[in-house]
Amino acid sequence: MSNQEVVVLNVGGVRFVTRASTLQQFPESRLARMLNDDDQEFKLVNGEFFVDRDATLFSYIMDFLRTLQVSLPTDFSDYQRLQREAEFYELYPLADLLSQEHLLKPRLEILEVHFSLQEMQAFFRIFGSCSTTVKTLAEQISVFTGQQSGQSWNSPFPSQKPLVPLPLERPSHHDMVFQCGTDYSAGDQFVARYVSIKPDNRKLINGTNVLGLLLDTLLKDGFRLISTRTISSEEKVECYGFERMKRPASLTVMVNQTPGSSGAAQAKRNQVQKGK
């Protein structure tokens, strides 16, 4: 059978259409042998290969054959059943990955935003259970400083004087510290700090506006606001708690097949971070 031929499978009454080459990714699997009529479990009926198995789980198997990745929905829970199906089709690299259930399950991620507004300055401290998320967020946040005169500190637009970028404070891999607003320097001069959060291009100096943009950014990134509380009434520190289910990295099988070799034996597992 040509690798370019279209193959139709009827799995438990649901039709799947694919290329023969997709089913032949792993030559020793039952799906590959099916194309050569080497497996009696698959019946050829009206030009379709019929097998009495679970169609919903087979859709994940087809996705694996097409992408060589295991990427399951956040609410997926049938790991053992899917592993059993992979073993039935003798797709042992997939079954091996599914046996590492702890790598595939999504994890609960916690993040807290501490906010304090003192006179003309606002102070932020962000704590996160996942250091990668904190690092990514730190790359989105930029702080700039410059001098202004008079009482223009609360203007939504920065002064025309050049602004100098400031590095974020990173006390640890799990938190960051920054501030915005103005601080009296000399005469009628004020040192102003602006905050910008990508993809928004504005440079904001008002702490309440920065807080609103930060919370909106987290919500758009999949976090859910679960609590709001006051940590210190004297210092006016408010805490906003967030959580989200974080997808794990996709697990990928790299197949390097040579004539006469076993695709399963040469499968190598790698964890690859999925692009957002």
Question: What is 197-211 written as a DSSP string?
Answer: ETT----B--HHHHH
- Cβ–Cβ under 8 Å, residues 120 and 182: yes
Give the integer Cα–Cα distance in Å for 12 and 274. Answer: 32
Give the integer Cα–Cα distance in Å for 109 and 130. Answer: 7
Give the integer Cα–Cα distance in Å for 197 and 217. Answer: 8
Q: List the one residue out of 251, 246, 250 whose CA is nearest residue 107.
A: 246
Q: What top-level class would CATH report for the domain 6-105?
A: alpha beta
At residue 250, the pLDDT reads 59
CA–chain centroid gap for 31, Å, is 32
What residue spans define the domains of the chain? 6-105, 110-150+160-244
Structure confidence by residue, pLDDT tens digits, 125-175? 999 999 989 999 999 999 999 876 655 545 555 455 688 999 999 999 999
> Considering the chain, what is the average pLDDT of its residues?
83
SS3 content of the chain, % helix, strand, coil (to 5): 25, 40, 35
Provide the pLDDT confidence category of residue 249 given band limits of 50, 70 and 90.
Answer: low
* 247 DSSP 8-state letter: P
CA dihedral 38, 40, 41, 42 (to 10 degrees): 70
Residue with tokens 């989105």: 140
pTM: predicted TM-score of the whole model, two decimal places = 0.60
Transcribe 100-167 into DSSP letters: -HHHHS-EEEEEEEEEEEETTEEEEEEEES-HHHHHHHHHHEEEEEEEEETTGGG-SS--SSPPEEEP
- pLDDT higher at 145 or 73: 145
Structure confidence by residue, pLDDT tens digits, 29-71? 999 999 887 778 888 888 899 999 999 999 999 999 999 988 8
**How far does the chain reach from its first CA to its final CA, in angstroms?**
39
* 32 DSSP 8-state letter: H
- pLDDT higher at 143 or 201: 143
